[in-house]
Amino acid sequence: MEFHNILVPVNSSPADEEAITLACRLAKRDKAKIMAVYIIPIDRTLPLDAELEAEVEKAERVLDRMESIGAGESCAVETDLLQARDAAPAIVDEAIQREADLIVIGSAYQRRFGQFSLGDVIPHVLKHAPCRVILYHQYTPDKVE
């Protein structure tokens, strides 16, 4: 199994840092390209090309962090910033556009209505992804039921 283009969708969750480390380790063997993508969700009250300075600043910080984690693993991480209505279809689109052969996506433990939940993004990506997906679930011992 070889990977050449690995897409890692990131936001500011702690699971992303581990997901990018995993991607770097996978990439090293096949000299694959890693693309970290941050998606700014745009509220429907705003146009898609609205300029959201604070959001962009936050995104830059996250992407910088991803680059430095990559550098620590001696792996070049390409970073990209997108604005979209919904993150999930944008991730799938980006994977198609960039001909990704693997998506590594991090998931932190979260609950919704008192139940464990994967959120909206991950199920959509798993269902529609045009390539393999590795779901990296962060281990948080105090939260496991």
- Report in angstroms how near the CB of residue 133 gets to another protein at its nearest: 19
Q: How many CB atoms lie within 10 A of CB 33?
A: 17
The backbone region for 46, taken as left when phi is positive above 0, alpha when psi lies in -120 to 50, beta otherwise, is: beta
Q: CA-CA-CA-CA torsion for 57, 79, 74, 70, nearest 10 degrees?
A: 50
Q: End-to-end CA distance of the chain: give it in Å, rounded.
A: 35
# binding residues, another protein (CB under 8 A): 17
- The binding track of 59-88 with respect to another protein, each residue x by CB under 8 A or -, is -x------------------xxxxxxx---
Q: Which of 2, 44, 45, 49 binds another protein (CB under 8 A)?
A: 49
Task: Determine, following the binding rule CB under 8 A, whether residue 126 of this chain makes contact with another protein.
Answer: no
List of residues contacting another protein (CB under 8 A): 39-40, 48-49, 51, 56, 60, 79-85, 90, 93-94
